[in-house]
């Protein structure tokens, strides 16, 4: 993690690009867009007041660009006045039964790309592609996704693969943050801590994305106790929040996306807990639904108010 003393004025807070698809309405890919079209999307980010960007690979896969195209993209990022503190990946699990080996190799390229462009962190996850039921749902987390197998051999395969990536990251001077996500080996605070403890590398920590868990329409551990458990391992952090209502008489649970300061998680408390354990990594503002970029910008300003002076 950075040795620079961070405060509310200089803490890197990046815009996520989850509201932008890799596949455009005409069926073409962002990978093949003209530079002026990349620039138009980056202008959205700067118009929202961001100075940092995470080129989330659900939008663009920097690791799959040719060197010349990557150089062009980075030039546009600089022209827009943006920096890239980290790169996040999504739904590229190294234990995917069909594409795990491919994703492991891809994640190595992400590490190399992050180091080459000056990013300090990468975020990996063990969650899978959306099921057809999830794709049809208004909120994909209300439909059951693919579950990581309760199998010691697969757990070991995941640990060994992340350790391999962690050593690579360590060699090139960056960190890995593993995203908490339901029904994976990082699907609870206890399991996430056990997993990174098994990996046992200083370059590998936890992306404490508690929003991925509190949004579930099922019983979950209270966010406060989860945060207390994962805080000592927290690295690059995806932050988002949800309204959550529980009816104890019927067992009904209902959730919906919320601006960061209004949801069930108190980020004022959660961030103080993480900082007390030495957290000094960047934040990534995410929001599903509506104008996610603008809500993320509102969330950025909330973070600026509550971070240390």
The residues spanned by each domain of the chain are 13-306
Q: Which tens digit of pLDDT belongs to each residue from 281-291?
A: 999 999 999 99
pLDDT of residue 4: 65
Question: The pTM is what?
Answer: 0.96
Nearest to 181 by CA among 240, 250, 125: 125
Euclidean distance between CA atoms 103 and 167, whole angstroms:
17
- Asked if residues 11 and 303 have their Cβ atoms less than 8 Å apart, the reply is yes
pLDDT of residue 175: 98
Which CATH class, in words, describes the domain spanning 13-306?
alpha beta
pLDDT of residue 116: 98
pLDDT reading at 227 higher than 50? yes
pLDDT reading at 224 higher than 80? yes
Mean pLDDT on 147-161: 97
Mean pLDDT on 29-45: 98
Q: Which tens digit of pLDDT belongs to each residue from 234-262?
A: 999 999 999 999 999 999 999 999 999 99
pLDDT reading at 2 higher than 80? no
pLDDT reading at 75 higher than 50? yes
Euclidean distance between CA atoms 178 and 193, whole angstroms:
10
**What does the mean pLDDT of the chain come to?**
97
Mean pLDDT on 34-53: 98
The sheet carrying 175-179 orders its strands as 86-88, 121-124, 175-179, 204-207
pLDDT of residue 99: 97
């Amino acid at each position: 993690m950075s040795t620079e003393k961070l405060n509310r004025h200089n803490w890197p807070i990046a815009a996520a690009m989850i509201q932008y698809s890799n596949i455009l309405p005409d069926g073409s890919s962002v990978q093949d867009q003209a530079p002026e079209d990349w620039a138009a999307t980056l202008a959205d980010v700067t118009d929202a007041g961001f100075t940092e960007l995470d080129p989330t690979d659900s939008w663009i896969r920097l690791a799959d660009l040719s060197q010349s195209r990557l150089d062009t993209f980075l030039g546009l990022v600089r022209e827009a006045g943006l920096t890239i503190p980290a790169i996040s990946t999504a739904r590229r699990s190294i234990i995917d039964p069909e594409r795990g080996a491919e994703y492991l190799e891809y994640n190595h390229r992400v590490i190399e790309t992050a180091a080459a462009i000056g990013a300090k962190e990468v975020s990996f996850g063990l969650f899978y592609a959306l099921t057809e039921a999830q794709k049809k749902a208004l909120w994909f987390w209300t439909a059951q996704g693919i579950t990581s197998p309760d199998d010691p051999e697969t757990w070991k395969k995941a640990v060994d693969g992340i350790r391999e990536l962690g050593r690579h990251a360590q060699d090139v001077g960056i960190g890995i943050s593993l995203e908490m996500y339901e029904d994976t080996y990082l699907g609870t605070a206890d399991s996430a801590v056990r997993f990174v403890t098994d990996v046992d590398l200083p370059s590998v920590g936890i992306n404490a994305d508690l929003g991925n868990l509190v949004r579930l329409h099922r019983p979950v551990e209270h966010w406060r106790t989860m945060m207390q458990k994962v805080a000592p391992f927290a690295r690059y952090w995806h932050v988002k929040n949800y309204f959550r209502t529980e009816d104890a008489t019927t067992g009904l649970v209902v959730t919906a996306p919320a601006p960061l300061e209004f949801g069930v998680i108190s980020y004022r408390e959660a961030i103080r807990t993480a900082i007390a354990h030495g957290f000094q990594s960047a934040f990534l503002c995410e929001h599903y639904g509506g104008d996610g970029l603008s809500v993320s910008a509102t969330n950025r300003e909330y973070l600026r108010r509550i971070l240390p002076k």
